[in-house]
Structure 1
């Protein structure tokens, strides 16, 4: 199941249609064997080279050509949620070293490829920028390609910044493997402020060149003006946060407002769960596309579904996350007036809970999820019990029930991976504006727009102080953006990781009991011991191999 090899520059193919409507999608063509001479003399090959930079290094499974969801992610079945307080990965998969505070420069677990993958992509973008002027392209199209390349390069730098802190800003000096890699300047790390200012400037340039809309000549999946501005919004929100303190909250609010003012995006009213299956959602700002017949990602349903359905029970949600979902009346479960019953805990919760997490007796594929003991088919007394959730929960978000769990190759794995969606931008704005001046009407408008989508319809927030609004926004991000690679970074930038990560990974035990209204007795349990957070873990360690390759010139993060 898990023998992998790296494949560089793997290509996604053009899809001409989805369902009955003709659509234009990002075309990725194989460029792993193209020579430099052919790329700079053939505009079609050059453009294919550029669009392939969205992918980076991909893992290929021996029995199929799956690729992981995410921006060329270097990790596999374990999701980034499983190095936070959202989930744990049942069979480790390189995640426990981060969960248990055992990170070191030579033991980076599933985070080990982030540095090298990002800088390889930056070098490839530099190469494209160094040769584009010599290509016979019309001025307008060349301008868009430059914007696209700068966006991709900025995205890679943003990944370096949010994981490691100050970046090595190699600018345009390294374009290929023959560049002067002995230049000491190539190993000097910039400050956080310098790194963020550089990337923000790059994104301004990219936004000025990129089109507002995807079209027949700029395929769905390629970066647009909104994508560049959305990345700047996230970057400046992080920069203003306590861990960074490298920008102002006013600047972060303005960056989010720039996306809002495009007037292009809105909250999808077609259903919270359906949003993650629909590449044409009006809420999506930037996404990576997959297609079941040509270019698929890992079968999420098989990797994460319950063991009683012959799935692998991979990224299993924690009770830590479950407890964050309020009741449908908007009150936290700790509020005495909320109506929460710990022996009937899944009744009348925020609707996003049911769209994100499978719990005991959740409806699923014509049956129910049965984690109870004795005898529950999705418990450790069911089939494939080595894949049983240790938390008592399974992942629901992203799952497409029309895809098979058994033998999914060539059929499953076509859900888009969403990098930026409008809900994030509204929450970015609400947080930054609240920190800048307090909860004015625009803050309420932004957060309540997220809460009021038709499939959620949570009560509007009213009459909060700046401090209580701050906590409300943190909670809203935790549940609205769950499993979308935000929580790991949010708790660090807010500097609350010592509180969220230095607690056990909790789960739930369900046993049959006629004495309770639910028919079951629920007891909180520890699902994984040893969750530990140390101050050094605000940043990842740069891999030891990278430090050694620089002959010690590259400065390691403190504490490693």
Structure 2
């Protein structure tokens, strides 16, 4: 029986490919799959739509709300009045019927269904068109389909743990659409199978016209991240060291493969900026392994608006909290603050030389490239966040009195629209692989060896920090690596999941967070809003949307605690 493709599939093809004549079909509004996949351009357009759900710098949901995941953990705070933002995570106000990222379940499975459909119909795609051989392009698309399917299953795994896995094309009304959860080991193996196919079919780099497509380098980076998560406590309660060893091998393989194909850490300054900030300003920085196929939400305008100060015509909706600022070491390699006492006064690390009344001198270079603070320079101004009349102080709404600088465009005038340039969100970069390698190798050993030190010290060196001393225990090195990930990968959608896979969210995402207050030249560090809530019995994994449970109660079991 001929398979008929619903019009929603057909229409979505034009998201990337303009095919007006392709839509001018019979009034039935349906096309059979052969009509779609026997045309190379239509087949490519169909698969391109599977890229639409790749996570971005700013998340937006079906229920509203724009946010960065950093404000869902100890990186930042969300400060708008929008519903269904990270505030729901902060204050325990979420449930299976509604929560900020609930839409991801349906969106990622829709993207998976698209890749399944493409793979099923791959043999229909012509290799030659008009006498021209397009075998390489056809082969590339096949690799992309497998890579994207693997990526979306990884995302589902990172949020929900064990999830249903299927490769068949399931449409509403089919009996076998109701599936049970796949055990974690099988899930990881299935995802790994797709990654291996992607590595075989994809090239390590493509021309600028194909910028943002999955490559074999990105596929190896995905494997490294997948095995890192699989080895971590949330999925590895028995601490099976073989998982850590395999994850370390995958990270090292990904680093070597990337560097042998022209990728490199951004270690030098140039006209575009300092070595670290260049990564987020340049579209084709050598450190970027994969970024989104299309410009991130609003071409970057939403991020500038969401994080920009009211003085710059922004919303001041996302900002760092003091706990993020405290994570940046002094240039002597010591953390400035060790925590807060019962009166919410900072507990100072005397070895650091930190002065809470002059808090922003002699810090990790990444601090100055990531955060806008009192006394810094931005858009031709010296930033004054002092109460009550500072030029960036907000009299009308509570703020943390910091602003994000990373990914922001200083040249962009939000009032006139001038000075804007399109940016894309980085999904994988080489620094992450070095930190993945340092972590997985450290966990696989009794104590850190020279390779662990080398992997983390090259990242620290770029930030102007000294090498770590060679006498660290495994446990101390673990804490160093975790803090390094927090500052190096700030608001890149890592920390939210890191504290969950490490199962430390119950420590770092609870109680009062802090802000800074400057008045009459004096700095204080009062609490920010309400105490945060994290229930270790259920918050480590997302609840499966209640609608999915209701229609599949016999097979699909809810996550613990929900």
**Pairwise mapping of residues 277-356 of structure 1 onto structure 2 (< 5 A)?**
277-290=281-294, 296-334=299-337, 335-356=349-370
Instruction: Provide the residue aligned with 2:90 in structure 1.
Output: 99
In the alignment, structure 1 residue 117 sits paired with structure 2 residue 107: yes
2:143 corresponds to 1:147: yes
Aligned partner of 2:455 in structure 1 is 446
How has the CA–CA distance of structure 1 residues 30 and 249 changed in structure 2, closer, same or farther, with 3 Å as cutoff? farther
The farther-off stretch of 223-232 and 256-265 is 256-265
Distance 1:423-1:215 versus aligned 2 partners, 3 A rule: same
Pair 1:183-2:182 in alignment? no
| CA deviation vs aligned residue, 1:519-554 (integer Å, no higher than 9, x gap) | x21111111203100020100111112222335532
Three-state SS of the structure 2 residue aligned to 1:296 is helix
Task: Confirm whether residue 432 of structure 1 aligns to residue 440 of structure 2.
Answer: yes
The runs of at least 4 consecutive aligned structure 1 residues that moved more than 6 Å come to 70-75
Give the superposition deviation at 1:377.
2.4
1:304–1:316 contact (8 Å) kept in structure 2: yes
SS at match of 1:166: coil
1:249 aligns with 2:238: no
Deviation for aligned residue 1:52: 2.1
Aligned to 1:557: 559
Match of 1:540 among 539, 542, 548: 542
Partner of 1:370: 384
Inter-CA distance 552–222: structure 2 relative to 1 (3 Å threshold): same
- 1:460 is displaced (CA, Å) by 1.4
> Shift of residue 295 of structure 1?
7.5
Provide, for residues 251-273 of structure 1, a one-character-per-residue CA deviation record: whole Å limited to 9, x for no partner: 10011011111123221124211
Shift in Å at residue 37 of structure 1?
5.0
Identify the residue that residue 274 of structure 1 maps to in structure 2. 278
Alignment of 1:182-221 (within 5 A): 182-183=175-176, 186-215=178-207, 219-221=210-212
Summarize the Cα distance change of 1:92–1:483 in structure 2 as closer, same or farther, 3 Å threshold: farther
1:491 CA drift (Å): 0.6
Aligned equivalents of 2:328, 2:434: Cα separation in 1: 19
In the alignment, the residues of structure 2 paired with residue 451 and residue 379 of structure 1 have an alpha-carbon distance, to the nearest angstrom, of 33
Residue 156 (structure 1) aligns with? 152
Specify the SS of the correspondent of 1:196.
Answer: helix
Determine whether 1:56 maps to 2:48: no
Tell me the equivalent position of 2:522: 521
What RMSD in Å do the two structures reach over aligned CA positions? 2.5
* Distance 1:490-1:477 versus aligned 2 partners, 3 A rule: same
Distance across 1 between alignment mates of 2:68 and 2:211 = 25
Is the counterpart of residue 46 in structure 1 residue 48 in structure 2? no
Alpha-carbon offset, residue 30 of structure 1: 5.2
Query: Counterpart of 1:187 in 2: which secondary structure?
Result: coil
Residue 309 of structure 1 and its aligned partner are, at CA, apart by 2.0
How many residues matched? 507
8 Å CA contact retained: 1:311, 1:405: yes
Q: Does 1:466 align with 2:458?
A: no
Report what 1:87 is aligned to: 76
Supply the distance in 1 between the matched residues of 2:311 and 2:154 (Cα, whole angstroms): 40
Identify if the C-alpha distance between structure 1 residues 485 and 306 changes in structure 2 by more than 3 Å, giving closer, same or farther. Answer: same
Q: Distance in 1 between matches of 2:315 and 2:110?
A: 33
Name 2:131's counterpart in structure 1.
none
Query: SS of the counterpart of 2:106?
Result: helix
